Amino acid sequence: MADAIRIDKLQKTFRLGFIPKTRPILKGISFSVREGEIFGYLGPNGAGKTTTIKCLLGLIHPDAGTIEIFGRSHLSPRSREPLGFLPENPYFYDYLTAREFLAFTADLFGLARKETGGRIARLLKLVGLERAADLPLRKFSRGMLQRAGLAQALINDPKLVILDEPLGGMDPLGRKEIRDIIVRFKDEGKTVFFTSHILQDIEMICDRVAIIVGGRIVKEGALRDLVSERVLFTEATVSGLFPDAFRGLAESVSVQGDRVLLRIFEESKVGEVLDLVRAHKGRLVSLSPRTETLEDIFVETVTRT
Amino acid sequence: MKIWAIAGITFKEAKRDRILYLLFFFAALGIVASRALAVLTVGDRVKIIKDVGLASISVFGVLMAILIGTGLVYKEIDKKTIFTLLAKPLHRAEFILGKFLGLVLTLFVMTLAMSLIFLAIVYAHTLKIEGVLLVAVGYIFLELVLITAVAVLFSSFSTPILSSLFALAFYLIGHLSWGLELIIKKMRPGAGKALVRALYTFLPDLENFNFKTEVVHGLPIPPGIYVSAFLYGVCYTAFILGLAVLVFRRRDFI
Amino acid sequence: MGKRVSAKKVPAALLLTVFLVATAAAFMALKVGADRIVRKKLPGSSIIYIPSGKFLKYATFGYRSLAADVIFLWAIQYYTTPTIDDRFDHLDHIFSIINELDPRYQDPYEVGALIAVQEAGDTRAAFAILDRGAANNPDQWVYPFNAGHVAMMTLKDFSLAEKYFEQCMKIPGAPEFVERLRANALFKKGDLETSWETWLDIYNRAADEEMKKIASNHLYNVKATIDAAALEDAAAKYRERFGHLPASLETLIRTGFLREVPKDLDGKDYVYDPVTGDVKTVVSPWRR
């Protein structure tokens, strides 16, 4: 499978102010995104996520290193033909209507006028903006703007969709919608590259991830490989027993009414706890093994760096 | 073509700028008021109408070009709409040229409208439609095109206020070229004179586009001047746009 | 840029630079060419609508003095450009603007008057400018002085000259020879009596021998002129009567046309030429 994106030793230092104060942002990062996969790009604030994307899109000129998009150097504007980009905050021309905006975007891709009309109609339906199609964008709510942004990112039926924090600021229903859309992209054969803070969502849908900290890639690989299936501990919620009863077996995390939340660190002790509960005629409210999550990896990686 | 797409939305955006209509209003006012002024003179009244009319179109046209032009690129960067735009398969040069063309289109419409009012007022006085006045207007428009290019150039790296000042300075320098010529005549030959002469040739000479006097007084215009002035305008505009593209290409949008 | 720069990018930057140089060269060449084509200028056309000074006073927003400087500078260039044929048409108007904007700016008055007299041959404009200078600067004696000079030398209007010199005399700080200029103007004007009185006054007030000498020379001249006129007049009347000029001045006394033969200021006789009837002094008034 070819690489949708290949970044090699990318470097960028910002020179700001009259007496240039240099601030190195990207210190030589390399990673690749394979075609057809969903790739998550994570890192703490200021690590260089957005800068990487801007280099990709030609908004920032790297000091050193190369970027290839489907084998084409990113320096050529043509490399952006198979791209669709949704920025974190939607900044669009507020005097255009949604329809006009999509038509304009289509023009920028050099799409033939004939097919644009149909495409725009379909996209508006897809993102649920049919009724607002002829309203000027300045009358759109933030959610509507987000959807308009999604539509413009898909106008050229891109092979690679780049999303910068697509899940930020959305309610759980919205986040589910976006997750479903991203998965649908993959089904359609598209490659998806996105940044996010919401690690649970990344864990749910990504094939591969890269973690960038302080301008360097500190972890890259398939999610499966990074996140082991090791059980860290088992959480059990029991009622009808006092916390002391579990001394030596488990750690009592909290008590609420007659419910005790326990953390059992040794797998062997789980059975003993269950026996104890049965013996005292207590009730097992819940039992869940807690495996290592992406968040754990992330926090550990970041604090280590 | 992509340049036309950008020109189209720029035109749409410029159309909504209230400054445009404010300036247009004052220009129209000036042209119509010339009729009142004409009553005060003794002798040929039409000359005042023609002079004031052409001056209004020129002055307000320049103001339009500067006030709107200096915001063109800056607004895109400030409002961050440029991010989604440049993420498309677009050359940066296409962006600059598109913006430029969009404003030129707007100014064309405005100049046309002002000219119509102007011609109407002149017609009301002379019962003649003087096509030659349009020649003067045409070259005023060419001057506006050049000023627009300058405004776009400065807009690509500077704030609107500074850009306006620079563009205005360009305009003033362009009209004071004859002063430099006088100085050269009175200098003693030498390195200094050669330097000033080089500067004089390089700096813009906007009087090249000024046919107001000839047109109003019915003086003959040597035919070579038409082509020469036109080409001068085209070349200088191309030069300025080239600079704008050069500057804009290297910009990082953080 | 990346180390492995794509082959297309280098030519693009180069192309742009070449483009810039080419267009710059083009417009510079066009400019040189255009300068050679002479555009017929309606003489003075660029200043057909010069606003009045009063209007400009308000329009220049408090930068009046600077505006006066700038316009004066421009005016100097304008008037030293010989190809503008009709440049003197608005001489007074233009200088009136400068004067109105900065009435205390002295140079323009003098320069304007100079241009008016020497280049334009327009004494009316010169007087207008100088009168303005005097009106706006009553403490400056140069303006009536220059005006008197113009009247005296160029216009040969001695009455006007006398008026100006008198005006000039009254200004404190005026040089003391102005009163002599005035006395001379009076003489030229033909008002011999006042001229005599004036010179007498000057003689009496004379500070040194040289001044006394000058005054006395003038007095001599005035007296000689008066006397000569009287003598020649009597001779002419004699000729009317007798058909020929008298042989000598004594003849006139005997025939009653003259009461007595005057003597010059030094007590010497005048020289009478019986052929022409002219009466001259025995010595030049200025070489006594």
Cβ contacts of C33 on chain B, cutoff 8 Å: 228
Rg of chain B (C-alpha set): 20
Residue with tokens 């198979």: A82
What pLDDT, on a 0 to 100 scale, did the predictor assign at position C44?
47
| Contact in structure between B4 and B11 (CB atoms under 8 Å) | no
Answer yes or no: do B243 and C26 touch at CB < 8 A: no
Residue B254 lies in a domain: no
% of chain A with per-residue pLDDT over 90: 32
Among C269, B182, B163, B175, residue whose Cα is nearest residue C260:
C269
What pLDDT, on a 0 to 100 scale, did the predictor assign at position B194?
86
Answer yes or no: do A59 and B91 touch at CB < 8 A: no
Angle, CA A154 vertex, CA A148 and CA A160 arms, to 5°: 135
Between A113-127 and A98-108, two packed helices, what is the crossing angle to 10 degrees?
130
Interface of A with C (CB under 8 A): 61-62, 64-67, 73, 75-76
Q: Which of A72, A75, A76, A78 has the highest number of chain C CBs within 10 A, making it the mutation to test binding with C?
A: A75
Cα distance between residue B95 and residue A72, in whole Å = 22
What pLDDT, on a 0 to 100 scale, did the predictor assign at position C7?
47
What pLDDT, on a 0 to 100 scale, did the predictor assign at position C55?
63
Strands annotated E in C153-196: none
Domain that includes residue B125, residue range: 2-249
- The structure tokens listed for A163 are 């999303």
Please report the number of interchain residue pairs, chain B to chain C, with beta-carbon separation below 8 angstroms. Answer: 68
Among A58, A154, A170, residue whose Cα is nearest residue A105:
A154
Q: What value of ipTM does the predicted structure carry?
A: 0.84
Q: How far is CA B250 from CA A52, A235, A291, C125, in A?
A: 17, 56, 49, 63
What pLDDT, on a 0 to 100 scale, did the predictor assign at position C43?
46
| Contact in structure between C97 and C109 (CB atoms under 8 Å) | no
Answer yes or no: do B89 and A79 touch at CB < 8 A: yes
Answer yes or no: do C23 and B238 touch at CB < 8 A: yes
Cβ contacts of B205 on chain C, cutoff 8 Å: 31, 34
Cα distance between residue C98 and residue C105, in whole Å = 8
Question: Average pLDDT for residues A1-25, to the nearest whole number?
Answer: 84
Cβ contacts of A152 on chain B, cutoff 8 Å: 84
- The structure tokens listed for A26 are 């990207």
Answer yes or no: do C30 and B232 touch at CB < 8 A: yes
Among B213, B216, B222, B226, residue whose Cα is nearest residue B142:
B226
Closest approach of B93 to chain A, Cα-based (Å): 11
Q: Using DSSP, state whether A258 is helix, strand or coil.
A: coil
Cβ contacts of B83 on chain A, cutoff 8 Å: 54, 57, 59, 87, 91
| Contact in structure between B210 and B57 (CB atoms under 8 Å) | no
Answer yes or no: do C3 and A66 touch at CB < 8 A: yes
What is the tens place of the pLDDT at every residue in B152-177? 999 988 889 999 999 999 998 888 88
Backbone angles phi and psi of C38, in degrees to 5: -85, 120
Sign of CA dihedral B106, B112, B115, B120: negative
Cβ contacts of C38 on chain B, cutoff 8 Å: 222
Say which residues have a Cβ less than 8 Å from residue A222's Cβ, sequence separation at least 6.
A207, A208
- Burial grade of B192 (CB within 10 A; 0-12, 13-18, 19 or more): exposed
| Torsion angle of C-alpha atoms B233, B239, B244, B250, degrees rounded to 10 | 170
Question: Average pLDDT for residues A135-159, to the nearest whole number?
Answer: 89
Task: Measure CA of the first residue to CA of the last residue in chain B; give whole Å.
Answer: 28
Cβ contacts of C35 on chain B, cutoff 8 Å: 181
Answer yes or no: do C33 and B228 touch at CB < 8 A: yes
Q: Range with the lowest mean pLDDT among A86-90, A180-184, C61-65?
A: C61-65
Quote the distance between the C-alpha of residue B72 and its chain's center. Answer: 15
Among A169, A172, A194, residue whose Cα is nearest residue A182:
A194
Q: Range with the lowest mean pLDDT among A24-33, B192-201, C1-10, C29-38?
A: C1-10
**Chain A contact for C6 (CB, 8 A cutoff):** yes
Say which residues have a Cβ less than 8 Å from residue B26's Cβ, sequence separation at least 6.
B56, B60
Cβ contacts of C45 on chain B, cutoff 8 Å: 213, 217
Cα distance between residue A290 and residue A284, in whole Å = 17
Residue B26 lies in a domain: yes
Q: Which of A13, A93, A94 has the highest number of chain B CBs within 10 A, making it the mutation to test binding with B?
A: A93
Q: Using DSSP, state whether A31 is helix, strand or coil.
A: strand
Residue among B4, B83, B88 whose CB faces A80 most closely: B88
Cβ contacts of B89 on chain A, cutoff 8 Å: 77-81, 83, 108-110
What is the tens place of the pLDDT at every residue in B25-46? 888 888 888 777 776 665 667 7
Answer yes or no: do B236 and C27 touch at CB < 8 A: yes
Structural domains of chain B, count? 1
| Contact in structure between B106 and B65 (CB atoms under 8 Å) | no
Cα distance between residue B178 and residue B172, in whole Å = 11
Q: Which of B236, B237, B241, B243 has the highest number of chain C CBs within 10 A, making it the mutation to test binding with C?
A: B236
| Torsion angle of C-alpha atoms B125, B127, B133, B135, degrees rounded to 10 | 170
Residue with tokens 């500074």: B162
Cβ contacts of A78 on chain B, cutoff 8 Å: 89
Subunits with 3+ Cβ pairs within 8 Å of A are: B, C
| Contact in structure between A249 and A267 (CB atoms under 8 Å) | no
What pLDDT, on a 0 to 100 scale, did the predictor assign at position B236?
93
% of chain B with per-residue pLDDT over 70: 96
**Chain A contact for C4 (CB, 8 A cutoff):** yes
Sign of CA dihedral C9, C11, C12, C16: positive
Answer yes or no: do A105 and B88 touch at CB < 8 A: yes
**Chain B contact for C9 (CB, 8 A cutoff):** no
Q: Which of A11, A66, A78 has the highest number of chain C CBs within 10 A, making it the mutation to test binding with C?
A: A66
Strands annotated E in B127-246: none
Q: In what order do the strands lie in the sheet with A38-42?
A: A83-86, A160-164, A191-195, A38-42, A208-213, A216-222
- The overall longest dimension of chain B from CA atoms, in Å, is 63
Among C202, C207, C206, residue whose Cα is nearest residue C222:
C202
Quote the distance between the C-alpha of residue C182 and its chain's center. Answer: 16
Higher pLDDT among residues B242 and A231, named by residue: B242
Higher pLDDT among residues C12 and B4, named by residue: B4
pLDDT digits (tens), chain C, 288 positions: 444 444 455 677 888 889 999 998 998 888 888 777 666 554 444 454 566 666 666 666 667 777 888 788 888 888 887 777 778 888 888 898 889 888 888 889 999 999 999 988 899 999 999 999 999 999 999 999 999 999 999 989 999 999 999 999 999 999 988 988 998 899 888 888 888 888 988 889 888 888 888 888 898 888 888 888 888 888 888 888 888 888 888 888 888 888 888 888 888 888 888 888 788 888 888 887
**Chain C contact for B221 (CB, 8 A cutoff):** yes
The reply to whether the predicted model has a pTM over 0.95 is no
Q: Which of B205-223 are b and which e, b meaning 16 or more Cβ less than 10 Å from the residue's Cβ?
A: bbbbbbbbbbbbbeeebee
**Chain A contact for C275 (CB, 8 A cutoff):** no
Answer yes or no: do B231 and C30 touch at CB < 8 A: yes
Say which residues have a Cβ less than 8 Å from residue C187's Cβ, sequence separation at least 6.
C195, C218, C221, C222, C225
What pLDDT, on a 0 to 100 scale, did the predictor assign at position A278?
87
